[in-house]
Structure 1
Amino acid sequence: MSRTFAYCRVSTNEQTTENQIMAIRQSGYDVLDSRVVSEVVSGGVQAMSRKAFADMVNHKLESGDRLVVLKLDRLGRDNIDVQQTIAMLVELNIEVVSLDLPVSNLSSAEGKLMLQMFSAFAEFEKSRIIERTKEGLERAKREGKRLGRPVAHDTRKRVQEAREHGLSQSKAAVKLDLGIATVKRYWNATGV
């Protein structure tokens, strides 16, 4: 007999997972309180790096169980991580259900197809971002704009001048609006 778990995540302490739990139960999933896993952590953190999620996967879920999330983004915000997480759960024979998708069971054939389509769109968008970045860099070069980090020569010169005026390293850092490590790097520098 399979058990049903719910994973609910919010990003800040000002938020609560209560609405997610209620929505999952209202969708017909009778999840025991002991099988509701909630945590406060950014969706940008990889799923298996989240303490409560990893604990659920490693110590609570068993083959044949079902994991329900209200929305796919509760598993994470990184498309690759979400897909790898779902693939890992399916490999463990865990049914993965996301209530916000037309095909809620992501471990079914239709669910796998939907994930592959999402992956294809994400890969397409990533390629478009790379293309737009290259186009922007080429345009900036044509317009004669200087690309890359600022020349350190100017920073070295400013630090040396502050030293010659008798400022300490910490006072030079404040006056020049630089980090103390930067000031130390150029404090005794000579040449270019």
Structure 2
Amino acid sequence: MSKTYGYCRISTKQQNIERQVRNIQLAYEDAIIVKEAYTGTKVEGRKEFTKLLKAVKAGDTIVFDSVSRMSRNAEDGVNLYMELFNRNINLVFLKEGYINTDVYRSKLDINLPTTDSEIANMYLKTTEQVLMLLAKEQIIIAFGQAQKEVDDLRERTSQGIETARRNGKQIGQEQGAKLVTKKSIQAKEQIIKYSKDFKGTLNDIAVMKLVGIARNTYYKYKREIVEKQGNK
């Protein structure tokens, strides 16, 4: 029995993947959802997607919210599309339905009627080949557009950084600045509370174990606490 999978991918774990899940399930209620957070344009390196590609069999279907979820590298995307097509795996792209494998397959199955004229038959054969090339060109364009979006974003980011630098703005964290996180704040509060060097009664080793931080991090936080108190 054939299966339908829905592949959902985001670039970081902080992004919301549920929109993709919802779109796929609205179209394919019984789809087996595969989720992945992966930064990069290439197919190689995506563990969950690699597992899915090994699991699918002829007649199975993979549904993507858009072509960019399959690949944002044009060459990789087209090559993988043709590989899966030749394995008789059905591919569905909700936003680019015109390149779904059933659409591509239907264009390859064109059988123009033959005639008694050799010249006419040559013309018809050429017409079939052109239509097939045009169908594949649509696939190439779709993946090319996905890659262009990535390239454009990188270019805009690069230009934005350069503009900010020229305007004298600091890019990234200033040299020597201390990175403050919620975890570091909580750890320092506990060090102050429990260390005998501050308000507590425990030695360094005991506080390290209690707070659950590494030795280097512990002493780094202690130095920062002392520096801060000295500046008051």
Scaled by the length of structure 1, the TM-score of the pair is 0.54
Question: What is the number of equivalent residue pairs in this alignment?
Answer: 120
Structure 1 position 18, deviation (Å): 1.2
- Alignment root-mean-square deviation, CA: 2.9
Name the structure 2 match of 1:18: 18
- Report the residue type matching 1:116 in the other structure: E
Q: Verify the 8 A CA contact 1:43 1:73 in the aligned structure 2.
A: no
Q: Percent identity among equivalent residues?
A: 28
SS in 1 for 2:62: strand
- Give runs of ≥4 in structure 1 deviating > 6 Å: none
Take 2:25 and 2:140, find their aligned partners in 1: how far apart are those partners?
A: 29
Which deviations, in whole Å up to 9, do the C-alpha atoms of 1:84-135 show, x marking residues without a partner?
111111122100000111425235325975442352694xxx9xxxxxxxxx
Q: Deviations over 1:55-89 (max 9, x none)?
A: 1111x211110000010000111111111111111
Change beyond 3 A, Cα 1:19–1:79: same
Aligned-residue offset at 1:48: 3.8
Cα distance in 1, alignment partners of residues 10 and 24 from structure 2: 15
Q: Is the 8 A contact 1:43 1:75 kept in 2?
A: no
Rounded to whole Å, the distance in 1 between the matches of 2:45 and 2:86 is 19
Shift of 1:11: 0.3
1: CA distance, partners of 2:76 / 2:102: 16
Segment drifting more, 113-122 vs 78-87 = 113-122
Question: 1:43: Cα distance to partner?
Answer: 4.3
Asked whether the 8 Å contact 2:99–2:139 carries over to 1, the reply is no
User: Equivalent residue of 1:108, what SS?
Assistant: helix
Q: Is the 8 A contact 1:4 1:65 kept in 2?
A: yes
The answer on whether the counterparts of 2:8 and 2:21 sit within 8 Å (CA) in structure 1 is yes
Change (3 A) 1:107 1:47: farther
Q: How far 1:49 moved relative to its partner? A: 2.8
CA distance in 1, matches of 2:62, 2:56: 8
TM-score by length of 2: 0.46
**Distance in 2 separating the partners of 1:83 and 1:23:** 23
- Pairwise mapping of residues 18-167 of structure 1 onto structure 2 (< 5 A)? 18-27=18-27, 29-32=28-31, 35-44=32-41, 46-58=42-54, 60-103=55-98, 105-109=100-104, 110=107, 113-119=134-140, 122=144
Q: Structure 1 unaligned runs (5+)?
A: 127-192
1:14–1:76 Cα change, 3 Å: same
Partner amino acid for 1:12? Answer: T
- Following the alignment from structure 2 to structure 1, what is the Cα–Cα distance between the partners of residues 84 and 140? 17
Q: CA separation of 1:48/1:115 partners in 2, compared to 1, >3 Å: closer, same or farther?
A: farther
Cα distance in 2 for partners of 1:17, 1:83 equals 24
Is the alpha carbon distance of 1:12 and 1:120 closer, same or farther for their aligned partners in structure 2, counting shifts above 3 Å?
closer
Q: 1:103 to 1:78 in 2, by over 3 A?
A: same
Between structure 1 and structure 2, the one with the greater Rg is: 2
